[in-house]
Amino acid sequence: MSDKDDYISRQAAIDTIMGQPPEPHYPSWYAAQIEKLPAAQPDHVADSDKKVSISCGRENDLISRQAAIDALARMMPHAYTPDGSHPSDEEIFRAQEIFADCIEALEILPSAQPEIIHCGECIYYDPPHVEKEDARYEYSEMPKEAFDVLGTGLVSMEYGVNIGGRCCVDYYCKSYSDDKRVYVREDNYCGRAERRTDETD
C-alpha cells in the first residue's frame, strides 16, 4: 500500500460501480470483486495501546482505494486488442469503456477514512480529579501541600481519593446495574466518541 493510498467505503464503491451503464453486465462483476476485498483499516486503528475496548466493533467497512482499482484492473479484457473485425469486438470495446468509467468513478470517490476523536476531546470523558466525602475537586483547586513529595501530581490520602480519567459513555445506561465507567488516557480513542464543542463544555 503506497503512502498516498487512502480508504473508501466498500458500500460506496459498490454503489458507484452499480450506477454505471449495465451493458454488458460488467459492473456487477466489478462489484463482486470489491465485495470480496478485505477491509483495510487505517494504521492508527491497529494501535492497540490507544484504541480502548469500548469501540464496539467497526462502524465503517473500509477498503483500500488502490486495492479496489487493482482488483478492477485485473478483470480488464485483454485477450487481444479489438480491431473491429471480430464478432465480439463491439462487446470488448463496450467493456473497456465501462471499465474506464468505473476506474474514473473510484478515483474521485471521497475518502471514507474516519475522523479520530481522542478521549480528551470527547463529551463522555471525565477528566482526572479528587473525590472526598462525596465531593469532587479539580486538581487546580487543591492546596500546594496536598500533593505528595514525590512529584507524581497526585494528592495524599488525607486530602481525598485520586480518580483517573474515565469514559462515561455507558455510565447512564439503565440496563447496567454496575458502574461501567472505564479508565482511559486522554490520547485513547474509540468508535463511539463525540467531539466536545463550546455548547457541550
Domain boundary (59, 78, 108) is at 108
Does residue 151 sit within a domain?
Answer: yes
Q: What does the longest C-alpha to C-alpha distance in the chain come to?
A: 94
Residues 70 and 90 in one domain: yes
Does residue 188 sit within a domain?
Answer: no
What pLDDT, on the 0 to 100 scale, is given for residue 143? 94
Query: If you average pLDDT over residues 36-49, what whole number do you get?
Result: 56
Does residue 51 sit within a domain?
Answer: yes
Residue with cell 454496575: 178
Confidence tier at 115 by pLDDT (50, 70, 90) = confident
Residues 100 and 13 in one domain: yes
Residues 90 and 128 in one domain: no
Query: If you average pLDDT over residues 20-34, what whole number do you get?
Result: 65
Q: How many CB atoms lie within 10 A of CB 136?
A: 12
Residues 171 and 123 in one domain: yes
* Structural domain of 158: 119-183
Residues 69 and 162 in one domain: no
Does residue 1 sit within a domain?
Answer: no
**pTM check: above 0.75:** no
Q: Does residue 174 or residue 98 have the better pLDDT?
A: 98
Cβ 195 vs Cβ 122: under 8 Å: yes
What pLDDT, on the 0 to 100 scale, is given for residue 45? 46
CA atoms lying within 13 Å on the CB side of residue 133: 2
Kind plus residue range of the DSSP H or E element containing 130: strand 129-132
Residues 167 and 130 in one domain: yes
Give residue-wise pLDDT tens across range 58-105.
Answer: 345 777 888 888 877 776 655 455 566 777 777 777 777 777 777 777
Does residue 60 sit within a domain?
Answer: yes
Within its chain, how far is the Cα of 191 from the centroid?
Answer: 7
Give residue-wise pLDDT tens across range 120-148.
Answer: 999 999 999 999 988 999 999 999 999 98
